[in-house]
Amino acid sequence: MAREYDQEYEVIDYTSKLKPGVKGEIAINAGIYKGHYPSRVEDLDLGHGLVGLAHPFMRGALLPAYRDMNLTFTMEDSGALYVFALSVRRVDIQGPPIMWANILDEPERVQRRQFLRISCLWDINVFHLENEFKNPTKTAWLPAKAIDISLGGYRFILPDEEAGELIFESGDRICVSFELAEREQIHTGRTTRIVHKDKKWEVGVGFDALPASAEKKLFEYIRQQEILYGSGNNEPK
């Protein structure tokens, strides 16, 4: 997986972010219980470096958890995402079930335009919004291939045979459609980098803005791919 850091993650004080009632999502990145589960902070024991999370459910039953199981808890605050690396210590089932976990390190904060870019091979559809005003009868959704993506934008390949007479210029507005976490995503952006060679367009696009829910899902996908392929496997997924 190709990796590019536009800026290092910023280390922050977790005591100002983890508070009872804060909602987020637990992610388990390996094993038979791999997946994403909604949760929230129920209690804190910062003296022992512990956070109590609402125990997630799986198919109507408590998600099986064992001591030293590693997971992450992702939450949002003031438009930024924070990811906490945790290790399960115990589960309390007296009253509302609580999963107690050790906070392994201070969280990492990701802001817009401060992100990790990963390689991918996504089937996407792009719509050239500028061309719609110039040639409305010749503008349509075009199948393309995204070759990398980040919280800030993406880069795609479009063969001439698909593009036809379409010409991309810097600053053009583009609408993109793709599937993420089994949901269709439609977002707009502007072209930032354009290369035309070998009978194909290679276009970089910066997102105008991402809704918090979409940003969270995309961030989780990027983190998961980094974990899976960050040891030298360059094969995108």
Tokens at 65, concatenated: 């958890």
18-106: in CATH 3.40.50.300: no
User: What is the C-alpha separation between 132 and 137, in angstroms, rounded?
Assistant: 8
pLDDT of residue 127: 94
Tokens at 135, concatenated: 């040639």
pLDDT of residue 19: 86
Interval 9-65: pLDDT, tens: 344 455 567 889 888 888 887 777 877 788 999 999 878 889 999 998 877 788 888
CATH code 2.40.10.220 region(s) in the chain: 18-106, 116-229
Q: Which residues lie across from 77 on neighbouring strands? A: 80
pLDDT of residue 60: 77
Residues of the chain below pLDDT 70: 1-16, 78-80, 110-115, 132-133, 135-138, 230-237
Superfamily of domain 116-229 in CATH is predicted glycosyltransferase like domains (2.40.10.220)
